[in-house]
Amino acid sequence: MRKQQKGFSLIELLIVVAIILIIAAIAIPNLIRAKMSANDAAAAGSEHTIVAGEIGYFGSYPSIGYAPLAALGGTAPCTPTTSANCLIDQTLATASTGTAGKSGYVFAVSTTAASTTAPPTFFTTAAPVSATTGSKSYCAADDGVLRWQSSITAVTVYATCLGLTPQ
């Protein structure tokens, strides 16, 4: 007479663990790609928000021109001033340094002042913090067109931004 077995044998448990590991090996790379795509889309949306903020700032303060990124935000409760205009959220306005970006991207705005020969200009850039947080870098200039490149290096020159592929 055989004793009644309770529970699972070691072999059964090892087979279940092996199946779980195989499923995880298939699912994790897809999850990472999906997260990168979401970060790319969020960065493109944030670039549009910055462009709208710059245009609003210029409309409010045409004698000043365009604003640095930090001047577009403001802490709540926000009262608009030239240095904290409350046009974009504070998280985006401060997402310009190191790993403290937003959705895996860091943002920057470069402006030029008006001169007697040229009007003021600006361009904004979004670059991934690392190759695992995003796959594209974005830029948008004062013409309002979002442009991108497959390199994760930020664009640093206004003319280079204007030469990239529109989104």
Structure token pair of residue 89: 């959220």
pLDDT at 37 over 70: yes
- Residue 98, sorted as left (phi over 0), alpha (psi -120 to 50) or beta, turns out to be left
Give the amino acid at 103.
S
pLDDT in tens, 110-149: 988 877 777 889 999 999 988 888 889 999 998 999 999 9
pLDDT at 19 over 70: yes
Break the chain into its structural domains and give their ranges: 11-166
pLDDT at 1 over 80: no
> Where would I find the beta strands (DSSP E) of the chain?
105-112, 121-128, 137-141, 146-149, 165-166
Predicted pLDDT of residue 80: 85
- pTM: predicted TM-score of the whole model, two decimal places: 0.82
